[in-house]
Structure 1
Amino acid sequence: MAQVDEFESIFRSALVDIYEYNLLEVTSVLLVTDKSENDIKAYLHDVQRFLSVLGTSVTWNVLSEDDFTTTQDLLDCVEKAKPDLVCSYRNLRSEDWIYQHSLGSYLDVLIQQAAAPVLILPHPNANYAHDHAMENTDRVMAITDHLSNDHRLINYALRFTQVDGSVFLTHMEDQAIFDRYMDIISKVPEINTDDAQEGIREQLLKEPQNYIESCKTVLQENNLPVTIEDIVTFGNRIVEYKKLILDHKVDLLIMNAKDHDQLAMHGMAYPLAIELRQIPLLML
């Protein structure tokens, strides 16, 4: 029986998830602001420049401070516009952007309720954005703790990366959680702790690494003019992601935000969105 289990493990470990490329269409964008009609034009120009990767045929619609007063008003406006992408900034209709502790009620609801992805931009009145933020999207990072088979995340990363730009596909296992499980395993006498630690660590990194390799292959087959950089590792996610963004001068961070099993945001999405104010974040 043990030999059968060994053969099954070898077979299962050889299975590889293959990336499925799909060119995403973004034909309409809704920019949500709390600015007056007179102040919108310059800001709209900045956002359009940042998202020049979307092309010139995109239809842009803008909401001003007069278009909504409640979160339900905002949701109704978004539902009516039916955009492919919603752009806004944290702490709409509030001065709380000077603090670092929330996205504000409008974005909290919008990210969870809107059908379209939401792009969170650095607040236009703040000065905490990185120097390269809002310039272009030639360095895009997609982050997750389960990269394999997340085709949608990768497709959005590719769609928002400029020609000849770089896409950083990042899979990070939580070191603290891994250490906790290894500590439990060390207390089970039937399991060789060293073998378990080495084998589990290797397999946890092997699967996303193989998936990224399949992404590179598919990109070559489709002649896509971007470069994929892989980052597969263990660490403290918030600390490491902040460091990676600085080290690689990332222009846009993309992550999953919706969790269909709960009302709150997916996994680490909310704490990361709170911490990472310095660059735009695309919340899927």
Structure 2
Amino acid sequence: MPIDFHSEQNRNSYTSRNVHDSWTNRVNRFTTVRGSRVADIGCGGGIYTKKLAEMDAAEVVGVDSSAKMLEAAQESCSGYRNVRFETGDANGTSLASGYYDLVIERALIHHLTDLRSCFDEAYRVIREGGKLLIQDRTPEDCLLPGGAGHIRGTFFEMYPHLAAIETARRHAAEDVIRAVEEAGFAFSREDKLWEIRKTYETFDELAEELKRRRGRSILHELSDGEIDELIARLRTIVPEGPIVEKDRWTVWVAVKK
């Protein structure tokens, strides 16, 4: 069954991973984080909120609809003076209008059906000349072949029903760009990103994370037995270790006119 983001059981599912420099370096090519006021909308457990703070943003606010996720994010980011969190909906936050230099919406829009409303809200809170950075998967990103580096692709090769679920909730690139422009932004660029998700020292470390379904909402659609089958298949594909896992994403950048 789908993951319940509001459950105490899943509150730490998106707090344990560290953001790799493959993400940081790409974001620094798109925009300037240092000294900026940043809103991380759909922040979940605050993994990327923390990284933005470490990139020397002047201030970062993480916004999410799940109080449980925000509790975990707050704990993870304790001690960061330039970070705060607010409960809010992506279509209607309580953030100040025209205040933020940068809004980041990473792994958010596949949870939404109304892209225009989400981007209207981003347009409201961004200052003139500020940027919106969206990161998510297109249906094509989801269906790339699996392999030793692209572990996620094997999920969908083994279980076609997962592929159907995954592609149905993803937005086509042209639909994202259209909604961004309709919200009033000037579309700037689209890029493909192979982000290093995590490096595992041993296969057993990877297997344990898969069993816990940690940070992988799509695996909540599988039974424990199916997870065991997936692990057995991956054991024949990936090396014993170290294992460098990469995920394929599309990134869109737009500017408030």
Tell me the TM-score normalized by structure 1.
0.27
Q: TM-score, normalised by structure 2?
A: 0.29
Larger Rg: 1
